[in-house]
A and B are shown apart, each in its own frame.
Chain A
């Protein structure tokens, strides 16, 4: 063993050295595209304004369905749209980052370092999550300050808890999605199914109570249904943490079961790709 190797730190998740390095690298790269950042913020403001005027148009008409969430459509839909972006980023960032590293040629260079591929996978998505959180905060702040978003009685601790569970749960599905990308390169069925079903049946734009019974049964299997319900109850109704956790129990149990399976599935996909020699192909 060389002299330098004796001075190396042991890989330690507590030091967060590698996730920090990925975050810093991604920040430097993204901030070098200055105009893109400005357009993103403008997009958030435009999007929030559209939902505000739509709710002004027919907000009263839909309020009977929204009693559970305070009866205000603008607050309902703004939280739905804001937090559904976590679903999009979770489902896309893992697989997109792996595919981007394959096409850029950086995956091979990272894989010969002393960093395991699950660490590369998770760390390379941190920037996307932080950026999404930043966008959600701007979205909610703009809504609260200028468009009458009603989150005065919010339970922020519960909201953060819901957010944490949501990220882990969606991240699990994102890792499954990345496994498909490792094997199939393109045409990931997981992302397609989850995004479309979640937008249609997960209660992003309307409460699931408007759905017919047989579609409600399907929506009960979608993580976003629980995640958005928990988030709305925490931010709009200000429900206590224990009640919110009980609402989210199916999501928590599902995550506990699926998270280790997703890591195992991803490792199996990587081994398959190493066997086929297709890890760096795209």
Chain B
């Protein structure tokens, strides 16, 4: 399998906006904020990578670096062997970018006129563009409102148009930036099925999907990478991640006392586990109890003995199946 995208030691920092006082006193000094830190990844041809992370994690910045809309502060990105910094022309032929921003169309033109314009910018001759647009409108299901002004489209229609535009030049690599952000659950599911069908029908060979929705990544992707505060904190094939989740030792411990006291004692034994959540149970319950959601780093027996020795009166102790969502939460904690 060949490498489609190689990200080598990519870091990115942005200048902070200056106040008037700083402009006068320190005109050449700029405070910078780090957005991405030393990201290293290889994305193989044919992979569907879900780039996950909470809001502001750096997903969109990374996508824009891959598309050469932003240059990295350090490191480099190779797309099919081309350095994005120096081979803009070659890279544009290979990629499609579905921008989540619905304003990125000309609202006073029809859907068809919009796509024809963008097809021309992709060097497509008129007849080829017409055929391709007709083909895409049928695949994506936008035929019925294709000749209406774009301003009349619903959010779902606009999103479909963005996908059609991203696929115009039949790209080998498709970048999707939070494509279902503005869609209702039914439309979002339909969209995910559509992207899956694209993969099956060979319309795209590599897809990178930036999202903060793990369920979406699970449906579409075969590999998941999690970015948190600019760092790559997890990068696994989805199947490996499922196996990993099955091998996690996550337990619910119910003990007497209040959540604050239980938390204090558990944190004193912190080397053996991570506390995911602690809360008081029903206030009517006598004696007062608290429940702790704990992810053990290894076999829980030793840790439990330690907890009991610390004076915790455990009422119940039950294993809990770790969901991928919880793994995600744990990774970005």
Chain A residues proximal to chain B, CB less than 8 Å: 1-5, 7-11, 17-18, 20-21, 24-25, 28-29, 32, 104-106, 108-116, 120, 271, 274-277, 279-280
| 5 sample A-B contacts, Cβ–Cβ < 8 Å, listed by A number | A8-B169, A17-B120, A106-B103, A112-B96, A274-B69
Residues of A within 8 A of B124 (CB): 4, 7-9
Whole-angstrom CA separation of A105 from B101 in the bound complex:
7
Residues of A within 8 A of B103 (CB): 104-106
A contact face: mostly helix, strand, loop, or mixed = helix
Q: Please tell me if the beta carbons of B70 and A3 are within 8 angstroms of each other in the complex.
A: no
Q: Please tell me if the beta carbons of A21 and B120 are within 8 angstroms of each other in the complex.
A: yes
Residues of A within 8 A of B97 (CB): 109, 112
Q: Please tell me if the beta carbons of A277 and B169 are within 8 angstroms of each other in the complex.
A: no
Whole-angstrom CA separation of A82 from B117 in the bound complex:
32
Query: B135-178 vs A: 1/0 string, CB under 8 Å?
Result: 00000000000000000000000000000010001111000000
Are A9 and B123 CB-contacts (below 8 A) given A4-B132, A277-B61, A280-B69? yes
Q: Please tell me if the beta carbons of B69 and A112 are within 8 angstroms of each other in the complex.
A: yes
Q: Please tell me if the beta carbons of B70 and A279 are within 8 angstroms of each other in the complex.
A: yes
Q: Please tell me if the beta carbons of B106 and A4 are within 8 angstroms of each other in the complex.
A: no
Number of A-B contacts (CB under 8 A): 119
- Interface contacts beyond A7-B128, A109-B99: sample of 5 additional A-B pairs, CB < 8 Å, sorted by A: A5-B169, A8-B124, A17-B123, A111-B69, A279-B70
B contact face: mostly helix, strand, loop, or mixed = mixed
Q: Please tell me if the beta carbons of B104 and A105 are within 8 angstroms of each other in the complex.
A: yes
Whole-angstrom CA separation of A109 from B161 in the bound complex:
12
Closest to B172 in A: A2
Are A114 and B169 CB-contacts (below 8 A) given A8-B123, A274-B69? yes
Are A9 and B121 CB-contacts (below 8 A) given A279-B70, A280-B69? no
Whole-angstrom CA separation of A59 from B64 in the bound complex:
61
Say whether B272 faces chain A, with CB atoms less than 8 Å apart: no
Say whether B317 faces chain A, with CB atoms less than 8 Å apart: no
Say whether B89 faces chain A, with CB atoms less than 8 Å apart: yes
Say whether B214 faces chain A, with CB atoms less than 8 Å apart: no
Residues of B within 8 A of A21 (CB): 116-117, 120-121
Whole-angstrom CA separation of A32 from B108 in the bound complex:
7
**In the complex, what's the smallest C-beta–C-beta distance from A252 to chain B, in angstroms?**
32
Which of B101, B104, B106, B108 has the most C-beta atoms of chain A within 10 angstroms of its own C-beta? B104
